[in-house]
Chains A and B, each alone.
Chain A
């Protein structure tokens, strides 16, 4: 009995020493089979315990199991150590040149005009306006007459119009959408009309095709103060609250009183530069209270309802926002230009 226990302990001690000395995962596996396998001496001794008395068997069995557990733990520990060392060797050989460029994939962007248009739309949508759309090919009624541009009035010279056969025209602003919206919907109304417009004019700051976002609010007791509030909020969200705004009297046939809104020059911060012609101010949009004649033209009661309208050129806003000096760049679509936005 004593020699049996002695042998168990000796086997255990030897096994632990062998395991600690093992230098590879293969050796560990061999040791596991040799020490704990079915043909191992410890397994054999386990079977021999059956011949002992119950008391001795329990005692010896306890010792045997204890040795087996210790050996198994040691095997596990050493295996983990060796695995970890192996991984460390692998990792050491896996170093890449982190300065090589990453794998490329096409990188798509929205056009700067679309980005700016959507930004304008989102600001007004968040205030409660919704989007209205209309055709680019219009008639005189929607583009001029309903907007209180009398026939043969010099106000028509403010917009050089492209005409189509049959008295049709390419809309010179998105205001016809406002007329269509009012003809289709009774008040109250809060819409913005983004879209492509055309004027027969071409130079560094004028393109025969450009984009506008116009807005219209009609409700009871809308005031010029409301117009100021909404447009100031817009300017601050578009360009940043650090820029001042100012409203100057102006003239549009379809609004009265009419105004133009300037913001402090985003290029020179108001000191005066070439872009702002030394004034420190940049005009960004035109606006005004809807002229009663327009309401009369669409069948709204101008005594019950008041409203304001405003309009801005997307190109102008984008040029100021990004410091672009030539409007033609937007339509040339040079890849080197498009990839900057």
Chain B
């Protein structure tokens, strides 16, 4: 909500320095979110009065103005060069003095313009940020004192629970209570003629639920025209465009008192009769913004006997709009049901100053005041006569209910030690009525504008807020110590992240979103992808079913930005529809690691492209450090991976980790150069096996013996099978087994390869004898020979 500080000061005694006022607003709960300083804070933009205008000697379009810039008439006026059209002697306008910084950042200096010195600059509304009009100077009314900083337009954040602060009077009331300063509601008299209002207009409310109260007045024989300067500036200061004197009055009353009003051209209302009812299904109304709206029975509609004329509480209709030829005006001031207004404005996707207030809740007791204020102002700025009496249809009445406030409870929640009398003072400052008080409690009736005060805790908040959070002493509580259940999944996620970072991979955080096409291009399941009802873009229209698409995006992005070599990981979820009624969606936690490009370059050894065994090494070490030993290694059927360079570690028929090269068809679709190697750890499959405990095995006291065996086998025999046979045959004495060479070539027969193993043997209770070792080696050789046809390679 934007407002002018000078206007605010008319409604409460707020003569403290502006910075103190702004700080007070923030500390009272209306955070200052922006300030357009038109000189009130800096003092560098002042109200000046044009005393004389002379043509510039050297430039036809320029003038040299003599401008009074001080309240003290003894201070000599300033010479200002100005090219604005339409200025007159006697105008009050903003004068930016040397050193002033305009809202756009422009700095004003004393300068020479074609031979004439200018001591500053006269400003348009656009230049000082007051309105959008850059075509002429911003004229100010006599309320702006000559020589003083013009004003400051302040934007405060009003929280949804405080619709009472969406007006000048409302803010004045609250900040007045905060600073304990007197508040002054506007004083005015609504002067009526002898003609009775009900001779000129009739009201009927059919939708009493949507419109619990409807009031109206008639002002006859008005002259529609531009607003006077004060009114135009006042609505603009709140960020509203000045339209004409009648509309501006309704907007001014909205800003001043917070109650939205609507003005109809009475002569455009058939039979001068207003009927408030539910809209009919499919009924249509063209609103003031020129858009045809299609309505439903949940909408509250203002109609005449022939047609809709306004969308209640949201926007008027074009057909009953105030125009230059309007003579008689019907002013509406009503209370509309917040939920109904909200439903309609959400469905139609329109937000107006009126709907914003109605859906938050307006002050039911303010309806008459606002109506009378508007009628009086219309009469003041557009002439005309206010007819006698208010048309008032009351459906349901609702009064603030008394609330019991316990003093002990208040102090218990706040951690304070406030006396009952202190609490009562605070409540009185915010216009609560205290109907009973004793040592233990107060009975409090909130004012009608405080629609947020419904129960004890609401009052306790007010006490805390106006006592001042800063005065409540900070304390450190004893936390309820309780052993918490371990969460193996979270434990696994944390640990795998640390291990992968220690492996040298950098963590990424990617979006959970993707689109169906990307999933399909990566051969990921797309049919069961979770679709967003209201995505921000097509690229982010579904939740990913696999982290792979996010990784391909990340690798492609980095390649485009010159980062070809990448070693990354992420621990995150993928999502699926599973179709069950109670839990239609499933989230699954994965860790994904990827290698793209080459090993790090160094002068001592040339870089080489990553390969299958790099990713496999990472996977093996990760599983080992997690304590989750796999049972088997298999070739999985995964279309998204390279068929010959992909493996899967399994345990208990579940995939712990699928790893290998991404299908080159997929990387090509992402225009990624080179091979990408990926490992997908299923953390939910891993979690049960992750053991934080490492079992200790006593260190052998007897010497170990190492024997190397180079075994020649058919090429097609997997090393893993040979290894399994070696381990089985060697039995408990085998302490270590290392494959240290794989050879294919001229030195052995074609179709064969040699796998050289280093066996470390040790017995826990004795030194192995030469004979014992030889017997064991022979048994091993016999076993690999029998199973795999392996022969010992002779060198």
Contact = CB atoms under 8 A, between A and B. Distances in A.
Nearest to B460: A257
Interface stretch (A44-52, A84-92, A229-237): A229-237
Interface string B12-37: 00000000000000111101111100
Contacts of B465: 249, 257
Contacts of A136: 512, 573, 575, 587
B238 to A, nearest CB: 20
B161 A105 contact: no
Contact of A153 (B160, B477, B511): B160
A109 B506 contact: yes
A223 B536 contact: no
B568 A333 contact: yes
A265 B717 CA distance: 67
B585 A251 contact: no
A177 B415 CA distance: 27
B735 interface: no
Interface stretch (A29-37, A59-67, A110-118): A110-118
A219 B512 contact: no
A96 to B, nearest CB: 11
A208 B561 CA distance: 24
A243 interface: no
Contacts of B513: 208-209
Contact of A256 (B461, B474, B507): B461
A20 interface: no
A106 B480 contact: no
A263 interface: no
Contact of A223 (B29, B34, B414, B604): B414
Contact of A100 (B457, B536, B603): B603
Contacts of B573: 136, 196
Nearest to B34: A277
A104 B413 CA distance: 58
Given A113-B509, A224-B469, A338-B507, A168 B584 contact: yes
A333 B477 contact: no
A56 interface: no
Provide the main secondary structure of the chain A interface.
Answer: mixed
Interface string B516-538: 00000000000000111111100
A271 interface: no
Nearest to B567: A106
Residue from B32, B501, B507, B563 with most neighbouring chain A CB atoms (10 Å): B507
B136 interface: no
Contacts of A246: 27, 469-470
Contact of B412 (A129, A196, A198, A306): A306
A202 B342 CA distance: 24
Contacts of B691: none
Contact of A103 (B480, B482, B568, B604): B604
A225 B475 contact: yes
A248 B469 contact: yes
Contacts of A333: 508-510, 554, 557-558, 568
A137 interface: yes
Contact of B507 (A110, A260, A336): A110
A322 interface: no
Interface in B456-488: 457-458, 460-461, 464-465, 469-470, 472-482, 484, 487
Interface string B759-786: 0000000000000000000000000000
Nearest to B455: A292
B497 interface: yes
A230 B602 contact: no
B540 A208 contact: yes
A200 B412 CA distance: 39
A340 B28 CA distance: 41
A256 B32 CA distance: 21
A209 B550 CA distance: 14
B281 interface: no
A108 B469 contact: no
Interface stretch (A7-15, A68-76, A155-163): A155-163
B578 to A, nearest CB: 11
A127 B479 CA distance: 8
Residue from A110, A224, A233 with most neighbouring chain B CB atoms (10 Å): A224
Residue from B28, B465, B479 with most neighbouring chain A CB atoms (10 Å): B479
Interface string A151-179: 11111011000111110101000000000
A176 B162 CA distance: 25
B690 interface: no
A163 to B, nearest CB: 4
A109 B507 contact: yes
B559 to A, nearest CB: 10
Interface in B545-600: 554, 557-558, 561, 563, 566-569, 572-573, 575, 584-585, 587, 600
Given A110-B497, A164-B531, A128 B472 contact: no
A278 B41 CA distance: 13
B352 interface: no
Interface in A213-241: 217, 219, 221-226, 228-230, 232-233
A326 interface: no
Contact of B497 (A114, A209, A250): A114
B354 to A, nearest CB: 14
Interface string B387-422: 000000000000000000000000011111000000
A289 interface: yes
A277 B22 CA distance: 13
Nearest to A336: B563
Given A111-B508, A247-B469, A336-B563, A232 B533 contact: no
A189 interface: yes
A258 interface: yes
A55 interface: no
B567 to A, nearest CB: 5
A334 B561 contact: yes
B26 A226 contact: no
A109 B563 CA distance: 16
B26 A248 contact: yes
Contacts of A221: 412
A334 B557 contact: yes
A259 interface: yes
B413 A289 contact: yes
B359 interface: yes
B291 interface: no
Contacts of A157: 160
A277 B32 CA distance: 10
A267 to B, nearest CB: 18
A197 B520 CA distance: 26
B504 interface: yes
B654 interface: no
A258 B413 CA distance: 12
A101 interface: yes
B557 A103 contact: no
B540 A165 contact: no
A166 B415 CA distance: 44
A82 interface: no
B601 interface: yes
B261 interface: no
A285 interface: no
Contacts of A130: 482, 484
Contacts of B458: 256
Contacts of B476: 226, 229-230, 233
Contacts of A228: 415, 469, 472-475
26 contacts: A106-B505, A110-B501, A128-B479, A128-B480, A131-B484, A136-B575, A136-B587, A137-B575, A155-B160, A162-B534, A163-B533, A196-B572, A223-B412, A224-B469, A225-B473, A228-B474, A230-B476, A247-B470, A249-B464, A249-B469, A257-B460, A279-B26, A292-B455, A332-B557, A333-B510, A333-B554
Kindly list the 7 A-B residue pairs having the minimum CB-CB distance in the complex, ordered from nearest.
Answer: A106-B504, A225-B415, A223-B415, A188-B480, A128-B479, A251-B159, A249-B29
Given A228-B415, A249-B27, 7 more contacts: A103-B602, A208-B511, A228-B473, A228-B474, A251-B29, A277-B33, A334-B558
